[in-house]
Amino acid sequence: MFENVQEIILKVTRDCNLRCSYCYVRDKDRFRGERMTFAVFQKIIERYLQDQARNIGAAVKQLLLVFHGGEPTLLGAKELRRFMNYARSKIPYIRFGIQTNLTNISPELAALFKKYSIVPGISVDGWHSRSNSLRMNGKKSPVLENVRKLKKYHIDCGPLLVVNKANIKKTWTNIIKLIRNFAIPGIKANYVENIYSPDFVYPECRAEELFKELFLPTIKHLQKKQQLVERNAEGVLSNFFNALIFQNENSPERDCHKDNCQIKFCTGGNKLAEVDAEGVVLSCGRWDDVHELCRIGSVEALDFWGISSYSKVLALQCRKAAAVRQKHCDSCPAGEICSYGCLAFSYAKYGDIRIRADSVCAYYKQVWQYLLANASVVLKSYAAVRNWEIAERRSRNFQVFFPKNAPRLNEESINKVSGWSIGQAGAKTCLQVRY
Amino acid sequence: MSTPWNDLQSCTLCGKPLRDILVLTKVSMDLHSRYYREDGVFENMNGLKKATSEYLCEECFKVFVDKLEAFSTERTVLKNKNGDI
């Protein structure tokens, strides 16, 4: 069950003090007062330790425990502290995270974040209180004020901005304002997927809008300031240049864990697992109700060799594989950078797992074409962000040197890019770029 | 990291304590799934693999082998029916 797990999302409650209409936990009134008990938490930690003990595969032990909801701070600072102290006493290498709307921040919570070096993930809709009030039935949101409070305690945060048709035009301005005013290194901007209601109050953006209003400004900012501030774009660039420059990480010879979500086969139920307040393990919490497809089983369930949980994760990924095959994604060049869409959201929307042509395919094909056409110029700025050494030779001609631990260069794909070749500078191999 | 033999207290399947066991057999399972791409390449599924061990007492080991044999017989019948043999 937890043999491969490196991240557990702990849904300590599905109850929340807000009622954001885009949230995938629907009808939150059903969960009023729901809280994970300490006894259930102890069972989760015990199960993790048992599963790790029989694991003969992974050599590196790491665990990130993310308190999630609903709103996890509803559990109270005292109980959260009890949970964290217990977990740290049993698993010395454990790290903690929390995803919160930051409406319940208190000195006790801030002290807890400080003690365990927690950088809370916070949900923000924009810079202005009015933007955020959309989530609070028109009331003024305290989220920005509370980010300021956190900064006074010297606590950083990782904002998550939800992009929709209503705020897409201001998204880039919002990102820059948040970064400048709170000295935040980066923001994740996730786009809304309309999975339930046709008259959804946060309608989806079109692929072209996302490309024009979010991706392009991110790249322009990268080129101008040598900063990569949007996390999803950062992932796209990483996948793009890895695919072009290095030997394929996803080859059968190399076993890898890439991203959790933005990838053909997500790590839900394998590297990442979600546990609800009752101690039921789910492949992911984005499934609204505890659907049979995402339900791996109780933390108390028997699972010899971990084979039962493995087969459940495999069954889910087989459906994703069928969708990939049906769409012929294997022959799509943008497949190297594609997120392939969220299977939980797809199931909620269509009752099946599909890859959406209108949003997913259209967006990533556009991004791929842009990056391929501008690969050399973007690489020059991206190399600076990655601390790859650059040697300018003359105008529109430079060399990139990679760290010693970088994967081997892929000559075949490098030679396919116009103006790129593998060069030698003394004893060092480098990427030679002419544009 | 494998479970050290010295840390074991019982059969990990039936829970029978070590004092009632003559022989304990370590049975490891190494699972690894790969997606077969349209271009004929087996692609890693983002680390979808698992390697684990259970420690079986003589009784559990026998039951385990019996189950595997029954499974094997059943699949062989199916294979014959499909005309592969």
Q: How many CB pairs under 8 A join A and B?
A: 100
Q: Which two tokens stand for residue B26?
A: 């370590």
Interface mutation target, options A2, A52, A54, chain B, most CBs of B under 10 Å: A54
What residue ranges of chain A are covered by domains with CATH 3.20.20.70?
Answer: 7-312
Q: Which helix (H) or strand (E) holds A371?
A: helix A362-373
Angstrom distance (rounded) from CA A209 to CA A359: 10
Enumerate the residues of chain A whose CB falls inside 8 A of the CB of residue B2. 56
DSSP symbols for A80-107: HHHHHHHHHHH-TTEEEEEEE-SSS--H
Enumerate the residues of chain B whose CB falls inside 8 A of the CB of residue A265. 35, 45-46, 48
How far off is chain A from B45, nearest CA to CA, in Å? Answer: 6
- From A258, which residue of chain B is nearest by alpha-carbon distance? B46
Q: How many helices (H) and strands (E) does chain A have?
A: 14, 13
Q: What is the pTM of this model?
A: 0.89
Residue type (1 letter), A55:
N
**Cβ <8 Å between A266 and B12:** no
Phi, psi of A188 (to 5 degrees): -100, 125
**So what CATH class is A7-312?**
alpha beta
pLDDT by residue for chain A (435 residues), tens digit each? 999 999 999 999 999 988 776 677 777 788 899 999 999 999 999 999 999 988 887 667 899 999 998 899 999 999 999 999 999 999 999 999 999 988 888 899 999 999 999 999 988 776 665 565 556 666 666 777 888 888 888 898 888 888 888 788 888 998 998 888 888 888 999 888 877 666 566 678 899 999 999 999 999 999 999 999 999 999 999 989 988 999 865 555 455 556 788 889 999 999 999 999 999 999 988 876 667 888 999 999 999 999 999 999 999 999 999 999 999 999 999 998 999 988 888 887 888 889 988 889 999 999 999 999 999 999 999 999 999 999 987 778 899 999 988 888 999 999 999 899 999 888 889 999 988
Angstrom distance (rounded) from CA A228 to CA A210: 17
How far off is chain B from A327, nearest CA to CA, in Å? Answer: 11
**Cβ <8 Å between A256 and B46:** yes
Interface mutation target, options A63, A272, A330, chain B, most CBs of B under 10 Å: A330
- From A254, which residue of chain B is nearest by alpha-carbon distance? B44
| Nearest-by-Cβ selection for B53 from A54, A250, A263 | A54
Contacts (Cβ under 8 Å, ≥6 apart) of A1: A47, A51, A273, A281, A296, A297, A299, A301, A303, A306, A309
- Select from B43, B37, B8, B38 the least CA-distant residue to B24: B8
- Select from A282, A1, A293, A271 the least CA-distant residue to B48: A271
Q: Which two tokens stand for residue A83?
A: 């949970």
Enumerate the residues of chain A whose CB falls inside 8 A of the CB of residue B51. 55-57
